[in-house]
Amino acid sequence: MRIAVDAMGGDNAPKAIVEGVMLAKKEFPDIAFQLYGKENEIKKYVTDESQITIIHTDEKINSDDEPVKAIRRKKTASMVLAAQAVKEGRADAIFSAGNTGALLAAGLFIVGRIKGIDRPGLMSTMPVIGKDAGFDMLDLGANADNKPEHLVNYAVLGTFYAQKVRGINTPRVGLLNNGTEETKGSELTKKAFELLSAEPSIHFIGNVEARELLNGAADVVVTDGFTGNAVLKSIEGTALNLMGLLKSSIMDAGVKGKLGAVLLKDALRNVKNEMDYAKHGGAVLFGLKAPVIKTHGSTGPEAVAYTIKQIHTMLETDVVAQLVAHYETTTATEVSQSE
Amino acid sequence: MRIAVDAMGGDNAPKAIVEGVMLAKKEFPDIAFQLYGKENEIKKYVTDESQITIIHTDEKINSDDEPVKAIRRKKTASMVLAAQAVKEGRADAIFSAGNTGALLAAGLFIVGRIKGIDRPGLMSTMPVIGKDAGFDMLDLGANADNKPEHLVNYAVLGTFYAQKVRGINTPRVGLLNNGTEETKGSELTKKAFELLSAEPSIHFIGNVEARELLNGAADVVVTDGFTGNAVLKSIEGTALNLMGLLKSSIMDAGVKGKLGAVLLKDALRNVKNEMDYAKHGGAVLFGLKAPVIKTHGSTGPEAVAYTIKQIHTMLETDVVAQLVAHYETTTATEVSQSE
């Protein structure tokens, strides 16, 4: 399998990206990596050239570039070249830690949508606290406005991912809503509830509330991109603030605090590990003809390696091809039924 | 000032409610409390009868009652009688820890809206971490669907509250959005951004992201009720889960963990205190002709006392009357302009 890597994307690029690739290739000798970016800079971190091809380009997309413009005008940017390789069948997946909006645009306009999926969604596997588990949530912000039908797409996408990539037989799909009762919700979620209830290819368990997400209320959580984005950022912001507050409170407690912190080192590390969802990989722009994966701009080599593992599983299980087949069958059935 | 108290609302009623009233009345000799509910049960906790009037009723609204039906059918429920007292000018404010939906319905249908405010919003003062401050956010879920105009109402309501009740001269109003750039957002937030920018009675600072709320990105944060509800529950869920995880990790660390926890007792208490926004009072259903205030069903006497302090400030500063005057002037101006 061939992964196109935007080596220039992210705050610590190309160092963190290339070091992550070096970590990952030890584990996955079956991956051929294509590193797009400045050859001289990339080469500094290539400790072993096997499985590696560098495709040189001087141009890159910056974090403050306007996404769609950047994709259209910077035709030789590392991200654009990587996406082009996927489009033209020279690579099987693309990975970037760069400008999220630009990667979404590259995914939509260069890699292209699966037929039957109107609005691909951004999906991450988030942590379930106290269990070695996670839940997949989408859309996390690829779209600012969604229709009820999109949420059904997300339920199907999330189900396929949870089954194939995370190995859950019958993933429980929940609809994020403002109450668990069937009658609750906005115009959007009420209609989505109806459609999800009628969808045969998923196991819909009803509404779930944001308060219960980290408790594992569902294996797949579907929501519109605006709400998903707000929920993701609320969870991240609260966790960061609480851990920061704990740290500063410990510091302020002087010698006693420092001693306490030493004794609680393992416990505190456990808390941090549980919340760290980078181990599940990056965010997938899901619903495209190939895996398009994004990690945080501030990502380090280990998170890059986790993400490559995730892409490896996506390619190994051929989840995208199965989605394509699913939508072809569904569309064919619908057409034959309507004839 | 006269506060109508639904003594039967909440999981620990009437005990927690009446005990909270007893705490509060020491601090506020100028409040006359009307306690609605079962006289015999209430009396058990009335340690001093000054400032207290009990209005007996056997009926109450349960937490699983369908809100609007309950308000219409249970005409002598403690919550309904309390709301009626406000409507008829026999009390100045109503407080309940009972069924949220029913209190919203009682507020809308019995107490009534301020002229010019189409959709009252549910507002709480949330914590800003590391500072002795907070931010007011609305709508937290009184409505499932909002129009851009409602968000302007919320900005005005929040501004008045932050100024009068929290003593902030020029509250910074932020619009919760999926990015800080002006061009970001859903159809709703883009239009709301325009309207907020043009509203002369507020100090609009632009978009804020959910990740920055607890850092004090704004003094007043406006959003639609669906998103607000999801964000509030995400923050609560994450904080609860993290504190729970920390506790269980400490327990699992054996003797070392217990000793560490003893040494860090003050630091851990500090974290808990910072996140505890009950000190700012309950949630206000804001935009009604009188203060209608809700606290958590699981609330204890201290949180009840904090909420009564909040109501005291709302009545003392006459914030609702000032809002009424504001909207009368605005409406009058609009009418004269359109003539």
How many angstroms separate the CA atoms of A218 and B66, rounded? 26
Which residue, of A252, A278, A304, is where some domain finishes?
A278
Verify that B172 and B303 share a domain, yes or no.
no
Contacts of B134 in chain A (CB under 8 A): none
pLDDT at B219: 98
Query: In which residue ranges of chain A is pLDDT below 70?
Result: 331-339
Three-state secondary-structure class, residue A168:
coil
What values do phi and psi take at B82, rounded to 5?
Answer: -65, -45
Chain A residue with the nearest C-alpha to that of B268? A246
Verify that B209 and B293 share a domain, yes or no.
no
Verify that A239 and A322 share a domain, yes or no.
no
Positive or negative, the CA dihedral B279, B282, B286, B288 is negative
- Asked if B238 lies within 8 A of A270 by C-beta distance, the reply is no
Q: Are B79 and B5 in contact (CB under 8 A)?
A: no
What values do phi and psi take at B267, rounded to 5?
Answer: -65, -45
Verify that A157 and A105 share a domain, yes or no.
no
pLDDT at A277: 77
User: What is the residue range of A83's domain?
Assistant: 2-117+287-338
pLDDT at A311: 97
Q: How many domains, chain A?
A: 2
> How far does Cα B297 stand from its chain's mean position?
13
- Asked if A230 lies within 8 A of B233 by C-beta distance, the reply is no
How many angstroms separate the CA atoms of A158 and A2, rounded? 24
- Which pLDDT tens digit goes with each residue over B218-237? 999 999 999 999 999 999 99
- Asked if A226 lies within 8 A of B230 by C-beta distance, the reply is no
CB atoms within 10 A of CB B26: 10
pLDDT at A276: 79
How many angstroms separate the CA atoms of A19 and A45, rounded? 6
Verify that B167 and B221 share a domain, yes or no.
yes
Query: In which residue ranges of chain B is pLDDT below 70?
Result: 331-339
- Which pLDDT tens digit goes with each residue over B262-303? 888 888 888 888 887 788 889 999 999 999 999 988 889 999
Q: What are the DSSP calls for A301-326, one per residue?
A: HHHHHHHHHHHHHHHHHTHHHHHHHH
How many angstroms separate the CA atoms of B67 and B106, rounded? 9
Tell me the HSE value of A283 on the side-chain side, using a 13 A CA sphere.
27
- Asked if A231 lies within 8 A of B236 by C-beta distance, the reply is no
CATH code of the domain containing B231: 3.40.718.10
pLDDT at B74: 97
Closest CA to A169 of A156, A177, A180, A160: A160
Verify that B142 and B219 share a domain, yes or no.
yes
Verify that A323 and A193 share a domain, yes or no.
no
Verify that B141 and B257 share a domain, yes or no.
yes
- Which pLDDT tens digit goes with each residue over A215-233? 999 999 999 999 999 999 9
Which residue, of A251, A278, A305, is where some domain finishes?
A278
Contacts of A189 in chain B (CB under 8 A): 144, 226
pLDDT at A39: 97
Verify that B68 and B141 share a domain, yes or no.
no
How many angstroms separate the CA atoms of A283 and A49, rounded? 28
Which residue, of B278, B302, B328, is where some domain finishes?
B278
Verify that A111 and A199 share a domain, yes or no.
no
A252 in contact with B, Cβ within 8 Å: yes
ipTM confidence? 0.93
Verify that B269 and B148 share a domain, yes or no.
yes
CB atoms within 10 A of CB A158: 27
DSSP state letter for B212: G
The span from the first CA to the last CA of chain A, in angstroms, equals 41
pLDDT at A339: 42
pLDDT at A219: 98
How many angstroms separate the CA atoms of B97 and B10, rounded? 5
Verify that B273 and B293 share a domain, yes or no.
no
